[in-house]
Structure 1
Amino acid sequence: MLLAGSVLAGLVGLAGCGVPDEDSPRPIEPSLIIGSPPAQAPSNPAGAVVERLYLVRDDQLVAVERRVGSTADVAALLGDLVAGPTEAERDEGLSSALTGTDLIAGVRLVDGTAEVSFRPQSGGRTDDILAIGQIVCTLDARTDVDTVRFLLDGQVLKVPRADGSLTELPLTVADYRTLIAER
């Protein structure tokens, strides 16, 4: 009997605290979120990420920064580089030693080394110091790239440093520092 009385008192108490009756339903805005808020995808508004590319002016490499919507992978970054300067960059006298070439077959990132594969070219050249410098400096500007190596048919390719010496060792921006001009 004591248990039945306690249950009845609890029900009466609950009936007394509640939401008053209303004629029609209305939305309720919660003032407190219980639990974890729903996960939201990180957003990168257009222009939130800086992409650094190296272009050419007067036989020197010039760093340019472009604002893009998201960080590009190494292949997309090289695609932007090969596409050449924008109209505004051309108006500043910038060009590219890579524009119009199909020399690059692909690129992949392996343990911090960007491996750039060249296409076999009949009569094509891989000795253009500015073109190689553009690729190395652009890729080395990324935080996930430590060095750059060039391949042809899967074999390491000798390419020129800024001083004209050929090397098959991985390269960095330091190998082309003497070619870099202030913007």
Structure 2
Amino acid sequence: MTARRLLPALLAAVLLAGCGVPVDDEPRLVREPPGRFPTPAGTSTADPDGRVGEPFCFVRDEGLAVVNRRVDGLPGVDAHLQHLLAGPDSAERRSGLATALPGTVVVAGATLTGGVATVDVRQAGQEAGRNDEVLAFGQIVCSLTQRPDVDSVAFRRDGQPLEVPRADGSVSALPLTAADYRPLMPR
């Protein structure tokens, strides 16, 4: 009688022992799955009615301030950039927001490849790192990298990488992120 009770427990133990992850003799390379990782739950910017936030960084008191306009759908990167170039709307201007873009950076357009938005600049002045240039490029980088599909922003002129000023006074031709302009953002 004891053997009959012991047999099912022993059988269950043997079956459960075989359900583990197999052990390899050597470490093996794990490849990243193709495509972008989904946004974690709870970080969506969509309203219950399906509207999403279109993020912009505008100038306030010699720094950058993030504003989200509610829109029916997030436009493409180039259209988003054109909306940024149009500047703050009247309510945003009344709240003290401005832009450093007009006259500082002449943008020809933007494309998105992978997670890198490439902004074509026709004319960017002397790239001397003046504060208005830092704010202008910061507005573009911070606005576009707030999007879920953009990880970084690169600039080019005449098909060549363009060195642009960062908040720390250095210049870079590499793709930039909002972290490059963090000193200009409110804490």
* TM-score (structure 2 length as normaliser): 0.68
Return the alpha-carbon distance in structure 1 between the equivalents of residues 169 and 155 of structure 2: 16
Between the aligned partners of 2:55 and 2:98, the Cα distance in structure 1 is 15
- Aligned residue for 2:182, secondary structure, equals helix
Equivalent residue, structure 1, for 2:85: 82
1:50-72 deviation per Cα after TM superposition (whole angstroms, max 9, x unaligned): 11100001110000010112111
Matched with 2:67 is 64
Question: Would you say the 8 A contact 1:55–1:96 is kept in 2?
Answer: yes
1:178 equivalent in alignment to 2:187: no
> Cα 1:101–1:76, aligned 2, differ >3 Å: closer, same or farther?
farther
| TM-fit CA distance, 1:120 | 3.4
Q: Which residue of 2 aligns with 1:23?
A: none
1:93 — aligned with what? Answer: 96
Aligned to 2:151: 146
CA contact (8 A) 1:75 1:106 kept: yes
Aligned to 1:103: 106
Q: Matches of 1:46 and 1:105 in 2, distance apart? A: 34
Unaligned 5+ residue runs, structure 2? 1-46
**Would you say the 8 A contact 2:105–2:123 is kept in 1?**
no
Instruction: Supply the distance in 2 between the matched residues of 1:163 and 1:45 (Cα, whole angstroms).
Output: 40
Q: Aligned letter for 2:116? A: T
Which residue number corresponds to residue 24 of structure 1? none
Q: Secondary structure at the match of 1:181?
A: coil
* Residue of 135, 138, 159 corresponding to 1:133: 138
CA distance in 1, matches of 2:184, 2:54: 20
Choose 1 or 2 for highest CA Rg. Answer: 1
TM-score by length of 1: 0.69
State the alpha-carbon separation in 2 of the partners of residues 67 and 100 from structure 1. Answer: 28
User: Deviation of residue 102 (structure 1)?
Assistant: 6.5
Determine the structure 2 residue equivalent to 1:169: 174
**Mind listing any 5+ residue stretches in structure 1 that lack a counterpart?**
1-43
2:160 counterpart residue number: 155
Q: What is the aligned length?
A: 137
Aligned residue for 1:151, secondary structure, equals: strand
Could you tell me which amino acid in structure 2 is paired with residue 165 of structure 1?
S
CA RMSD after TM alignment: 2.1
